[in-house]
Structure 1
Amino acid sequence: MTKNQISWLFLGFSGRVSRAAFFLAGLLLAVLQALVLYRFTLAPEGSGASGVWALLFWGMFMLSAFSSVALGVKRLHDFGKSGMFAFALFVPMVSILAFIVLCLYPGDPGANEYGERTNAPKQ
C-alpha cells in the first residue's frame, strides 16, 4: 500500500471501501487510541510526560473521529448509499449497531455511482 492509498483510506471521502478494509482500518484506529490512552495512564500525574500523552490522545481522538467519518462515508458508498448516514457512527447505542451493519452488509458487486470498484477512490 502506498502513502497515497493510506491517506485516501483514512482521510479521503470519494470512492468505495470494502467490509474487510473498513473493519481493519477501524480496528487500527481503536488500537492506536488505546495505546495512547494506556501510555497516558502510565505517566505520573502532573508531569510533562502526562501533558504530552494527553495532547497526543486528543490529537489521536480528533484524527480517528475524522477518519471514522471518512471510512463510514466510503463504506456507505460501497452499497450505493449517501455518506450522510456515516454520522450514525457517533450516536450512542446506535454507533455499535451501525459499525456492525457496515462490517457485515455486502457492497454492490459491480460499479455504482460512487466508483468502479471497491478500495479505490472514484476515478
Structure 2
Amino acid sequence: MGRNDLTWLFFGFSGRISRMAFFLAGLLWAVFQAFALYRFTVAEQAGGATNIWAMLFWALFFLSVWSSVALGVKRLHDFGKPGIFTVALFIPMVSIIAFIALCFWPGDEGANRYGTRTNAPA
C-alpha cells in the first residue's frame, strides 16, 4: 500500500471500503487522539510541552473529523448508499449505532454505482 493509497483511504471520497478497513482506520485515529490527549494531561503546566500537545491533539481532532467523513462516505458507498447519510456519525447517541452498523453491515457483492470493487477508488 503506497502513500497515494493511504491518502485515498483516509481523505478521499470516491470508491468503497470494507468493514474491516473502516473499523481499523477509525481505531487508528482513536489511538492517535488518545495518545495526544494523554500526553497533554501529563505534561507539566510550566513548560511549553502542554501547548504543543494541546495543538497536536486539536490538529489530530480536525484531521480525524475530515477522515471520519471520508471513511463513512466510502463505507456507505460499499453498500450502495449515498454519502450524505454520514451525517449520522455526528449525531449524539445515533453515532454509536451508526458506527456499529457500518462496522457490521455487509457491502454489496460485486460492482455497484460507486465502484467495481471494495477497497479501491472509483
Give the structure-1-normalised TM-score: 0.97
Cα deviation, 1:7-44, whole Å, max 9, x if unaligned, reads 00000000000000000000001001001101111111
Question: Which residue in the other structure is 2:102 paired with?
Answer: 102
What corresponds to 1:14 in structure 2?
14
* Cα distance in 2 for residues equivalent to 1:34 and 1:90: 19
**SS of 1:47's equivalent?**
coil
Q: Distance in 2 between matches of 1:70 and 1:11?
A: 6
Q: Which residue of 2 aligns with 1:23?
A: 23
Residue in 1 aligned with 2:3?
A: 3
- Distance across 2 between alignment mates of 1:26 and 1:56: 18
Q: Which moved more, 1:43-52 or 1:77-86?
A: 43-52
Counterpart Cα distance in 1 of 2:70 and 2:46 = 35
1:50 match: 50
**CA deviation digits over 1:51-91, x for unaligned, max 9?**
00000000000000000000000000000000001111111
Unaligned runs of 5+ residues in structure 1 are none
Residue 45 of structure 1: how far off its partner (Å) = 1.8
Aligned pair count? 122
Question: How far did 1:111 drift?
Answer: 0.2
Percent identical: 68
The amino acid of 1:91's aligned partner reads I
Where does residue 63 of structure 1 map in the other structure?
63
Take 1:72 and 1:45, find their aligned partners in 2: how far apart are those partners?
37
Stretches of structure 2 lacking an aligned partner (at least 5 in a row) = none
- The aligned amino acid for 1:24 is L
Matched to 2:12, the amino acid is G
The aligned runs of 1:82-97 (5 Å cut-off) are 82-97=82-97
2:81 match = 81
**TM-score, normalization by structure 2:** 0.98
Q: Secondary structure at 1:121's aligned position in 2? A: coil
